[in-house]
């Protein structure tokens, strides 16, 4: 079911999906003009309106954040800054990011590998939707080349995080203690990164 509401003097479409297996209600702002509600089969349009009214401030804030992140078709994000495609003569943004990340990430890996005394067996780059880095059981590291969109200190944190996985293959206290030793403000960086995504 799709219906419309008004938020900050704008008409916003609301997509209500009822599923049998869902126990809880999930509210997401997908785009500046589209909200999704996923809930159980008993959750109706009246419940949806009540939820939207209750979450009005959060919805407005989420829409504002999306508007800030929006970039034009002739622009792209590069190390946290909005740049013009034409200035870099870019035809394929993925190829550009993949080439650029090697220039920036290898020095970071070299620096922190020596500091931490943890050395990867291989380094690969790929485009992922959900993960920004990973460490396999052979201690090979993978990095998402879309990290090129974000400030360099975020890339540096991801490098330290994945190098720490060479020693600890989990997110135990020992793992986080190791991360914190080489990146004392990692909690702040994680929060900052979430706001940029």
Is residue 67 predicted with pLDDT exceeding 80? no
pLDDT at 65: 81
CA distance 139 to 113: 12
The predicted model gives 5-32 an average pLDDT of 90
Q: Is 134 helix (H, G, I), strand (E, B) or coil?
A: strand
The CATH number fitting domain 76-196, selected from 3.30.70.2740, 3.20.20.70, 1.10.3720.10, 3.30.2010.10: 3.30.2010.10
Q: Is 13 helix (H, G, I), strand (E, B) or coil?
A: strand
With CA atoms as reference, report the closest residue to 4 among 41, 44, 49, 39.
49
In this structure, is the dihedral angle defined by the CA atoms of residues 54, 56, 61 and 63, taken in order, positive or negative? positive
Beta bridge mates, 144: 126
Q: State the pLDDT confidence band at 21, using cuts at 50, 70 and 90.
A: confident
Q: State the pLDDT confidence band at 70, using cuts at 50, 70 and 90.
A: confident
Q: Express each pLDDT in 28-62 by its tens digit.
A: 998 888 999 999 999 999 999 999 999 999 999 88
DSSP annotation of 190 reads: H
β 10-18/34-39 pair status:
parallel
- Read off the pTM: 0.71
Is residue 68 predicted with pLDDT exceeding 80? no
Tell me where in the chain the CATH 3.30.2010.10 domain(s) lie. Answer: 76-196
Q: Express each pLDDT in 119-171 by its tens digit.
A: 999 999 999 888 999 999 999 999 999 999 999 999 999 999 999 999 999 99
CA distance 178 to 157: 12
pLDDT at 8: 80
pLDDT at 72: 83
Is residue 189 predicted with pLDDT exceeding 80? yes
């Amino acid at each position: 079911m799709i219906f419309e509401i008004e938020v900050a003097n704008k008409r916003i479409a609301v997509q209500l999906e009822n599923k049998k297996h869902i126990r809880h209600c999930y509210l997401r702002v997908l785009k500046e003009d589209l909200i999704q509600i996923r809930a159980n089969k008993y959750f109706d349009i009246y419940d949806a309106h009540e939820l939207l009214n209750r979450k009005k401030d959060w919805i407005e804030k989420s829409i504002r954040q999306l508007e800030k992140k929006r970039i034009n078709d002739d622009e792209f994000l590069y190390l946290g800054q909005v740049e013009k495609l034409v200035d870099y003569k870019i035809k394929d943004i993925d190829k550009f990011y993949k080439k650029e990340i090697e220039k920036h990430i290898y020095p970071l890996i070299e620096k922190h590998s020596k500091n931490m005394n943890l050395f990867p067996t291989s380094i690969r780059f790929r485009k992922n939707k959900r993960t920004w880095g990973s460490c396999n059981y052979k201690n090979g590291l993978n990095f998402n080349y879309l990290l090129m969109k974000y400030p360099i200190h975020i890339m540096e944190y991801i490098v330290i995080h994945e190098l720490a996985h060479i020693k600890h293959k989990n997110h135990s206290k020992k793992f986080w203690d190791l991360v914190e030793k080489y990146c004392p403000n990692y909690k702040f960086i994680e929060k900052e990164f979430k706001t940029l995504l």
